[in-house]
Structure 1
């Protein structure tokens, strides 16, 4: 093992990522030219650090609305023709030798220098790990001074948080990022959907950019679940002012689909590959897609294509009246139709007003009003500025508009038109009914807490596997003692426990072979075709045992549990939550449908829960063999 090297400051470069002054911090020179005595430079990594033998690549990021390249992500490569050329191998070696910080800081220094030398326009997306972000050695102002020397201002740099390890100290990461934002940097979350805690950090920090992991982008034009995931993320982003970047765009169909969803930016091989000298304009193929009026073909049975549900679904035809219709006739019409809340007033096919039932009858109920106004035209009592809604308007946009506008539009209803001509009316009650149905349908397809597939995709996936004739393992995963944990720590901690379980199970899957679904609550289903399925289940149990206790207090961890009241009001001791997995070998010849699979896995889960602690029970009996 080489001895620890002494870092000698460069005469021209200061510490790279020393962005904040932390109390009690020890000075640690990072991002300098590393000097190691020749006799100690006996590993490839040492040689890289001595000679700064790294190179930067830049991958463009495309603005979907303007068609321009708004910036570049800085990537790193090791020496050519070397095992450490790959970033994965480079950082793996650095981790094994305990030199992650040194390598990471040098990587960023190289990226910044080459970005400045190339004079690339737009923003630089610079990868930063949580460890480097919160390292106590940072010293205020040194990075700004360094960037000033090479001609880069903080406004041109996006700190992109990479998640290659769990984030336990959210407060420290959040405070560090807020500090950098005050200095002029912007923030991006990387690989949303793949990392450990992006969703929580997103909700607490509200970054300017969120990058969606390529797993959810590639094949989105043929995968309904991925489509719904991207649409949901886009809706969340719109509500909190975040711009979404779709990573891994590799085909024309993928680019067209994310464009139609409304995602702000894209990045991937179809736009441009990483290069030492990247292009400064978008390729013609991408520009052609962005400038095309053609809409992407969504997957068949694309459940929850919520934006395709339009105001036409709310349409109820009501025979309109003309502005010359007398008020007595309007009064008779309301009397003969108790369920009629409003009457549209139309002239030459164009809506000109709306008569609200309650306002009209209240007026007529006043002394002498009917005698005075009965023979007058209804145009004197109609509301002349009704809400006109085109039939193609998505109901979600309509709902948002009604929420933000004056209340009478919701109470009176609205007139639905096509190219300005009267079609019928819609009501606020009808809109609420449709929105509620959409939300219920959404819960069936994607669990809103974990964004994992819900019951319908789970059943469809099982049916597809049964039809294929290929055997697989179905594993029912359930948390033990979750209710007492939820009672003691509250629903927010309970949600964190469920989300963490989902992430752990996700890590255990091979995305090319396996499927993870969230049945609801603390119940999950794993559909495994991997040959090492049992090793994956054991790994999930081990990870849960190691990580789940981080959500409990020190006292409860030390005791192994806590006291709480049971349903009979008795004080009992409950151990910390554990994970039980019941696994069943599914032979398509033995199982007729997903109902049979569900029943078999439920029995296996029941057996697993009878085993103390984190446990895996594998059902060995045949489906119809008695216990």
Structure 2
């Protein structure tokens, strides 16, 4: 189990920690299960302490500070999840290019979970399909190591890039998140409907859960629920809240 895995030695990325030249924190957005109207997870989304969005922070990430930023994001997400007494998974986005050696670079995350008393079995790691990964074997190694340690893994923005099915053929995560661009207006678009059904069929055959992200209308949610998707994230249900767990608007979920 995750908590019983031996502690690896830290990698260089985890021990050489110059101060970041900017400050940041996290907002949280719920991922809900409409079957029982419960929280499945909350995604930790980077935000500036001055109210700026993720783009302003990510624009300051360079090759020189990428490793420290990735580590700091993980620790901050766990710290806040513990402080807010998050009752579900905390979903943490990670930068594959910032991970030297997966077993070693997870150490700071596990230490944070222990320090803040957050259950490590509630860690979920997301990587976006659009992330510029030059070494796919390295990414597979990261996802495989996290899976071996008992963490849930997810491919974010599935359908936004060109390599999704190739990656899925080589590694099967626990979850894929369908990209919002694919789902926009899906209730009235037969082409998008056919693509979504196809992806869902593949995932069901591989025992992979599907999250519909970026859902903005009741019609979108109703169609997606009708084809067998039960996990949702989007402005329809809750917008991200800075250092808080926002309330879910369950009135938008048809009975």
Matched residues in 2 for 1:167 and 1:20: separation?
A: 27
Q: Give the Cα–Cα distance (whole angstroms) in 2 for the partners of residues 199 and 105 of structure 1.
A: 29
Q: Structure 2 CA distance, aligned partners of 1:64 and 1:139?
A: 35
Structure 2: gaps (5+ residues) = 1-5
Distance 1:219 1:55 in 2: 32
- Report the TM-score, using the length of structure 1 for normalisation: 0.37
Question: Is 1:58 the counterpart of 2:24 in the alignment?
Answer: no
Alignment of 1:274-423 (within 5 A): 274-275=240-241, 276-279=243-246, 282-287=248-253, 289=254, 291=255
- TM-score by structure 2 length? 0.87
Report the secondary structure of 1:191's partner residue. Answer: strand
Q: 1:270 to 1:256 in 2, by over 3 A?
A: same
Q: Which residue of 1 aligns with 2:124?
A: 158
Displacement after TM superposition at 1:285 (Å) = 2.0
Task: Name 2:54's counterpart in structure 1.
Answer: 87
Checking the alignment, whether the CA contact within 8 Å between 1:160 and 1:190 is kept in structure 2 is: yes
Residues 114 and 148 of structure 1: is their aligned pair in 2 closer, same or farther, counting only changes over 3 Å? same
Q: Secondary structure at the match of 2:60?
A: helix
Say if 2:184 is the partner of 1:218.
yes
Shift of 1:58: 0.6
1:28–1:137: 8 Å Cα contact kept in structure 2?
Answer: no
User: What is the CA deviation profile of residues 161-191 of structure 1, one whole-angstrom value per residue up to 9, with x for unaligned ones?
Assistant: 1244433322222122222212121111100
Q: State how far apart, in whole Å, the 1-side matches of 2:105 and 2:155 are.
A: 24
Could you tell me how far apart the structure 1 residues matched to 2:15 and 2:228 are?
A: 41
Kept in 2: contact 1:20–1:176 (CA 8 A):
no
Offset at residue 91 of structure 1 (A): 1.5
Residue number among 241, 244, 247 corresponding to 2:207 in the alignment: 241
Among 270, 290, 296, the alignment partner of 2:236 is: 270
Q: How does 1:132-171 map to 2 (within 5 A)?
A: 132-135=98-101, 138=104, 141-171=107-137
Deviation by residue 1:456-493 (Cα, 9 ceiling, x = unmatched): xxxxxxxxxxxxxxxxxxxxxxxxxxxxxxxxxxxxxx
1:184 and 2:150 aligned: yes
Partner of 1:477: none
Q: CA deviation at 1:192?
A: 0.4
Distance in 1 (CA, whole Å) between partners of 2:110 and 2:53 is: 30
Q: 1:518-547 CA distances to partner (integer Å, 9 max, x unpaired)?
A: xxxxxxxxxxxxxxxxxxxxxxxxxxxxxx
Residues 123 and 169 of structure 1, relative CA distance in 2, 3 Å threshold: same
Check 1:195–1:104 CA distance in 2 against 1; reply closer, same or farther (3 A cut). Answer: farther
SS of structure 2 residue aligned to 1:94 = coil
Cα contact 1:130–1:163 (8 A) shared by 2: no
CA contact (8 A) 1:60 1:71 kept: yes
What residue ranges of structure 1 are gaps of 5+ in the alignment?
1-18, 36-44, 292-627
Alignment check: 8 A CA contact 1:129 1:163 kept? no
Query: Within the alignment, does 1:227 sit opposite 2:178 as a pair?
Result: no
Q: 1:413-465: per-residue Cα shift (whole Å, max 9, x none)?
A: xxxxxxxxxxxxxxxxxxxxxxxxxxxxxxxxxxxxxxxxxxxxxxxxxxxxx
Question: Could you say which structure has the larger radius of gyration?
Answer: 1
Alpha-carbon offset, residue 200 of structure 1? 2.0
> Pick from 46, 55, 58: which aligns with 1:76?
46
Partner of 1:27: 12
**What displacement does 1:286 show?**
2.6
In the superposition, relative to structure 1, how do residues 149 and 196 fare at CA in structure 2: closer, same or farther (>3 Å)?
farther
Q: Is the Cα contact below 8 Å between 2:160 and 2:182 reproduced in 1?
A: no
Query: Structure 2: how far apart are the matches of 1:283 and 1:265?
Result: 15
